[in-house]
A and B are shown apart, each in its own frame.
Chain A
Amino acid sequence: MISRRDFLKNTAKAVAGISIPVAALEILSPARVQAIKADSSVRWAFLVDTYKCVGCGFCVKACKLENEIPYDANATRTWVERYVLTKDGKLYADTPKGARDGFISTKVDLGMGNFQDIKKEDIKKAFFVPKLCNQCDNPPCVQVCPVGATYQAPDGVVLVDRTWCIGCGYCIMACPYGVRFFHPKYHTAEKCNFCYHRISKGLKTACVQACPFGARQIGNIKDPNDPVAKTITTERVGILKSEYGTKPQVFYIGLDEEVR
């Protein structure tokens, strides 16, 4: 007759022994992994025309209001940069409040209360560059998330789960483009998500709709009839920081070598 003590001991051992492989199987079930290799027919891509952008900043304002980013907070899902290259070979660049209020002065903001007024005669070239999350195909921010709070949806958009993010900030450090920040209210990682709530309903993103000059456009790169897809595949476009291997999906027309 087996003693009660031995019975309990052996049962405990058996349960412990089985639970670990069962748990592992649940986490990495082969069947599950196979079943979900669904191929999406949509892959969102963005097109920015830096010739058309005038730096009005309507896009930044619309984004803030549409996505409930506190208006006065010094963080924004999208922004516009101004580049002024002078004839003596210097670069002056700024983005006052992310261009939420546009660019209304010739004085370039140098930070710490300093400004540089640049005269028309000294300018070699000057232009505006809108920036937003590139929804990369190899997103380094997703790779470094320790808990699976940020991820890539099947249609290519990189999203953040506000209920799961622990706020470590690793994704913010890993993004080469500086598009991420901590939401001032939710204290989770935040970034442009191509107005996912709008594009999933067939609407355009807030910034694309707000831009009066058509400098911003969004489309489905997998659809051959999509105007954005057509431009990207047939005309000369550039991407930001290609050396990082992130495969960004925001394409630029008129991307100058001085753009950071």
Chain B
Amino acid sequence: MADREINRRMLELAGFEKDELEAILPDWLMTVERVGLTDEDVRVAVEEYIPKNWDIKYLGVRKMIGAYLREMIDIAKTKEMKENGTKLLYGILPAVATTYSAYKKAGGDDIFVSFPDLMLVTILNGFFHQAAPYLYEAEEQGFTYGCRHCPLNKMRVGALTKGLLAIPDVIWSWGFNCDEGPKTDEMIQCMLNEEWKYIVSRIPHDTYFGQPDDEESRITYLSKVLKEGMDEINDIIGITPSQDDLKAAIAEANRYTFKIGQMVSLVCKSDPVPLGGNTLTQFQQALCVPFNKGLTHIEEALDIMIKELKEAIKKGEGVLPKGAPKVGSYFVPFCIPWIDRLFRENGVATTFSQTLTPSKSQMTPSKYKDDPYMSIAEQWLKMPLGQNMGYEVASMVEKVKANKPDGMLMGFFDFDRWLGAHQKMCATLVENETGVPHYYMESDFWDDRDYSEEALRTRIESISQLLCIRKEME
């Protein structure tokens, strides 16, 4: 039986209080047991790992952690949910969360929506540094270590074969970036003898370098792909989101996007920088990952965070002294939060992520307000992640110019055949266009089994020194 005291402290740290804490404690104790977190793992998280790596002086950050923990509690209950007739709809990254939100609005408690692999890696590695057992498990199942498969795909396999995750009614397997995710689902289906139902939706990726991906004909095509996917899901689970559900989900996503834009702008334009890139990116993730609890808790945390940021800025408080250089990233590796800390220890603040920071075009109201499928497809094709490199680089340049970092940090996806080489080339193109120096680090965004703090410290120290010298010279 998990120790109540240390787990109570964990929940307190995550922003739970009084009755709410007492009510959720039994579920949390069940969760830590099922997930395989020991009392010592929780103690290390509460006393060392989270305080060292996250800005928990802000209630907004703690509440954000709480919103994620709620999702892990639900994931740990998927087997009971299934037994009780709740429909399980999973998905994978990258995606837009809007369609899932619409299903949640239509089905309420009769449906569970999540990207469980992503949630588990984010929570287990981001807050507990404990995703490794699931990744080892997947490697035992054939996802050989030497092949450097994406840890998210490994987590999906590992969480299933370790018995944590229930088999869903259906998984919407997006291959909007690369096709490794759908291939993994095909393999899981073969392993389980057809029980693992998956629907694949993909985009053609046949635009030329620099050609807009969000042209109307492409939006129309994708809207049909989305509708076809949803029709298939409706047939399987018997829940059909109405036009109003879809529109409400779009409106909710637009509202959240706007708030994210506001938070990024506050952080990037302030000196001293009031918040680290880990938190910033962790909040942004809700744009492309569905929360089974909806945006209720994460948005509450975001509202608190924005308020706290304004106060901190007014008081001139920051995570580092005024004048410290700041870096933007392709994608701040929040699953390995000690990287952010190493930069801070060397006098550099991490800030925005290229991938999840909305571009101007993303914040522009949709042209297709009356057609939710077109609107969602438009949302998707405006996301930099699915675009051809030339078009993505244009939005990257826009964000660098808007947020004015002293340097940009690329990398952490060298294992990824889609993003690995892509990022190296993007670095050169954006640097040429903006004059902002780009630095590249080879490591894994999700999984740090391959490298240690000490291994990266030297590289981070040298990048930081360069940035500090440049800043002083300015």
To the question of whether A and B form a pair in one complex, the answer is no
Interface residues of A (CB under 8 A from B): none
